[in-house]
Amino acid sequence: MNFVVVNYSLNQEYLVYKKAFSSQVKKALNKLDSFTIKHLDVNINLKSTNLTLKLYINTKANFKYATTVNKILSKTREAIKLLINTEPENIYLIFNKEMRKNA
Q: Quick: pLDDT tens for 41-87.
A: 999 999 999 999 999 999 888 788 899 999 999 999 999 999 999 99
Angle subtended at Cα 38 by Cα 36 and Cα 44, rounded to the nearest 5 degrees: 115
CA dist 4 and 7 (Å) reads 10
Report the alpha-carbon distance of residue 88 to residue 74 in Å, rounded. Answer: 11
DSSP state of 93: E
Give the CATH number of domain 3-102; options: 3.40.47.10, 3.40.50.720, 3.30.70.1350, 3.30.9.10.
Answer: 3.30.70.1350
Which DSSP category does 3 fall into?
Answer: E
Question: Which of the pair, 91 or 63, is modelled with greater confidence?
Answer: 91
Residues 6+ away with beta carbon under 8 Å from 62: 33, 34
